[in-house]
Amino acid sequence: MPRLVCFTNIDSGASDGRSAHGRCAVHERAVARTLCLAEESAAAGDYSEALAWLRTLEAIGEALPASCRAKREAWTAAIRQTSLTRRRATELQPSAEPSSTTLVTPGDRQ
C-alpha cells in the first residue's frame, strides 16, 4: 500500500517563531505530523493506532479539528464492526471439541 505523504505549510507569522495561536512553529509542525500519522494508520486499516494518535494530541491539550472528530467516530465504528464480524464468525464456526452431552435412556436410570 502506498504511504501517504503529509506536507504542512506553517507560517509562524511572528519573528519569535510563534504562530497566530501563540504556539511555537515546532509544536504546530508536531501536531500536523501527528494528524498525518493518524491518517496514515487509518489508511493502512489500523484504526486502533489512528485513534491512539488522536488521543496523544488530546493528552497534550490539543483540541481536535471538527474533521478529526468525525474521522474518530468513523474509525471507532469501523473497529466495532470488525470486532462484531469476528465475533459472529467465531460463533458460527463448529466447535473442535466433542460434545459433552450424554444420551440417557430410560433403562440407564437407577
Residue 22 lies in a domain: yes
Residue 91 lies in a domain: no
Rounded to two decimals, what is the model's pTM?
0.61
Q: What is the pLDDT of residues 32-69, one digit of tens each?
A: 999 999 999 999 999 999 999 999 999 999 999 898 99
What is the total count of domains within the chain?
Answer: 1
For 18, half-sphere exposure in the C-beta direction (CA atoms, 13 angstrom radius) is: 5
Residues 6+ apart with CB under 8 A from 106: none
Surface-to-core class of residue 68, CB atoms within 10 Å of its CB (0-12 exposed, 13-18 middle, 19+ buried): buried
Residue 104 lies in a domain: no
Q: How far apart are the first and last CA of the chain?
A: 68
Query: Domain range holding 39?
Result: 16-84
Other CB atoms within 10 Å distance of the CB of residue 11: 9
Residue 106 lies in a domain: no
